[in-house]
Structure 1
Amino acid sequence: MSVVFVHQGPGLTQESYEEAVRRLTGRSRMESPDDWPVPGLLVHVTGQGEHGFRIVDVWESEEAAGRFFEAVAPILDEVGIKNDVESYPAHTFVR
């Protein structure tokens, strides 16, 4: 079952996100699911909202998301992202 993750909170800014992407991939931006270090990403969206910068990911499973978070956690610590992550099973997912 696909799972939705919403990231936001202190330390998560467009600049810190872009720095994390550079450290993770060596690129300035993510453009394809193939850019991720693990398979399973279905959707990745970022943007500035009323309450700060936000990342929304949809993963094919909790296990896939877990593998990604294991890979990215040290980088998030390095760039100072200490964000809250809300997650929930997707009720409906349409491609």
Structure 2
Amino acid sequence: MCAVAVAIAGVLYEVAAPRADETTLDGAAAWASADWSVAHISAIVALILIPLGYNAIRASSTAQRWRGPAFAAATIGHIGSGPTISYYRG
């Protein structure tokens, strides 16, 4: 379920993000549009859901040999999402 939500948020980001030459007034208008806000909010939602998905994988791993890598993936996902979300806040 979490993977589907991440996929939807990722597709929404690509669809909603306006594409324009950033060195022109059209690019400035694109950055100021509501579409850009929707794109960034969807990226933030995806970055919140990714570590939660890792946690779900970690919780569902019943084999002892996969618990260490699953814990490492969840930890790295949490650590990586925090700074990346701060990039999108701006």
Q: Same fold (TM over 0.5)?
A: no
Question: Taking CA–CA contacts closer than 8 Å with sequence separation of 6 or more, which of the two structures ends up with the larger relative contact order?
Answer: 1
Give the structure with the higher percent strand.
1
